[in-house]
């Protein structure tokens, strides 16, 4: 049973070893591109609420897979929405209680 499954999977690849290597390489590149696309989609959704920025970053990675991913890493917001909200709440808290932020000496 398992040998028939293995044979059916290999039947998609060429009998020529060189062509099979190229097909395997293209398969690996395809899986990598899909992974990068999902990674960018998840990451940009956590980093901004702007629909246009989200679409731009996803399209950049889709149309220029490897280079677009590195460009995305350069242009993405430094912090997530949650981190910015946390910093904002911390700043508000420090403004309300300025004496607790200073050391008593």
Longest dimension (CA), the chain: 80
For the chain, which residues make up each domain, given as ranges? 2-80
pLDDT of residue 59: 97
pLDDT of residue 82: 95
pLDDT of residue 19: 87
* Contact between 36 and 30 (Cβ < 8 Å): no
Burial class (CB in 10 A: 0-12, 13-18, 19+), 65: middle
pTM here is 0.74
pLDDT of residue 7: 72
pLDDT in tens, the chain (105 residues): 567 777 776 677 777 888 888 888 999 999 999 999 999 999 999 999 999 999 999 999 999 999 999 999 999 999 999 999 999 999 999 999 877 656 655
């Amino acid at each position: 049973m398992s040998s028939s499954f293995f044979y059916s999977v290999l039947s998609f690849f060429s009998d020529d070893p060189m062509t099979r290597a190229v097909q395997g390489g293209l398969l690996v590149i395809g899986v990598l591109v899909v992974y990068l696309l999902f990674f960018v989609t998840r990451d940009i959704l956590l980093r901004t609420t702007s629909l246009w920025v989200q679409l731009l970053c996803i399209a950049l990675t889709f149309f220029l897979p490897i280079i677009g991913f590195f460009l995305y890493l350069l242009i993405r917001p430094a912090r997530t929405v949650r981190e910015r909200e946390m910093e904002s709440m911390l700043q508000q808290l420090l403004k309300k209680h300025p004496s607790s932020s200073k050391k008593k000496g």
